[in-house]
Amino acid sequence: MKNDRISMSVIRRLPRYYRFLSELNANSIKRISSSELASRMGLTASQIRQDLNCFGGFGQQGYGYSVEQLYESFGNILGIHNCYPTVLIGAGNLGRAVASHISFESKGFKLVGIFDNNPQLIGTKLKGIEIQSSDNLVDFCKENIPKVAILCLPRDSGENVAEKLINEVGIKCFWNFSHYDITLKHKDVIMENVHMSDSLMTLCYRITDEERAKNATDETE
């Protein structure tokens, strides 16, 4: 695998391949051609062949891909059999949804600690883990050495916590729901953002833009 050459756009398609393959596998489909997979995923067969070639290629001409083998290979490529110890900071509505909704173990992560500074939450349990005071965060991390931190915090607390985790604990991997852009200052950090409100605003733009276009057409008619 020549990973240096794999573009972020291919990488971002990997989980989607994995999802589709997982469905096919669950439906006991044994083999699939690149054109069949393409039509299911809304891609072209040639794009699928190109994507798979980034990872060494899996298919046999005229024979299709073995679903099970491809599914397993993608799991390995994604690294989902790792069990990266992970702390969650922020157990408000969003943090709770993330903790409850996401199946960490099947995605390569293991939740080892949850932190909040709300006294009403501290001591209660979430997904079987006792929520600790944020005051314990640095000590806990020094002792347990998590690989990943999930930030379910507003922008400013996101900044405080991220800087502390980077500078005092050396954490370099973040799943970031806050609006603090960690990589602007820390180029070596691996960060994936989930910016729900950006997604909603993009939706608003696209709806509004379509209505503007419609109105413009109506006026010229």
195 makes contact with a copy of itself (CB under 8 A): yes
* Cα gap 86→171, rounded to integer Å: 10
Q: Within a 13 Å sphere around the CA of 39, how many CA atoms are in the beta-carbon half?
A: 4
Our CA dihedral for 134, 135, 139, 144, rounded to 10 degrees, sits at -20
Query: What's 183's DSSP letter?
Result: G
Shortest Cβ 63–a copy of itself spacing (Å): 26
* Cα gap 108→85, rounded to integer Å: 9
Kindly tell me which residue out of 19, 30, 142, 214 binds a copy of itself, with binding defined by CB under 8 A. Answer: 19
Q: Which stretch binds a copy of itself (CB under 8 A): 30-38, 106-114, 115-123, 163-171?
A: 106-114
| 24 touches 67 (CB < 8 A) | yes
Rg (CA), the chain: 21
Q: Which is nearer to a copy of itself, 145 or 203 (CB)?
A: 203
Q: Which stretch binds a copy of itself (CB under 8 A): 56-64, 65-73, 112-120, 208-216?
A: 208-216
| 145 touches 119 (CB < 8 A) | no
203 makes contact with a copy of itself (CB under 8 A): yes
Q: Which is nearer to a copy of itself, 102 or 138 (CB)?
A: 102
What residue ranges bind a copy of itself (CB under 8 A)?
1, 3-4, 11-12, 14-16, 18-19, 40-42, 77-80, 82, 84, 92-94, 96-98, 100-104, 107-109, 147-148, 173, 175, 179, 181, 183-184, 190, 192-213
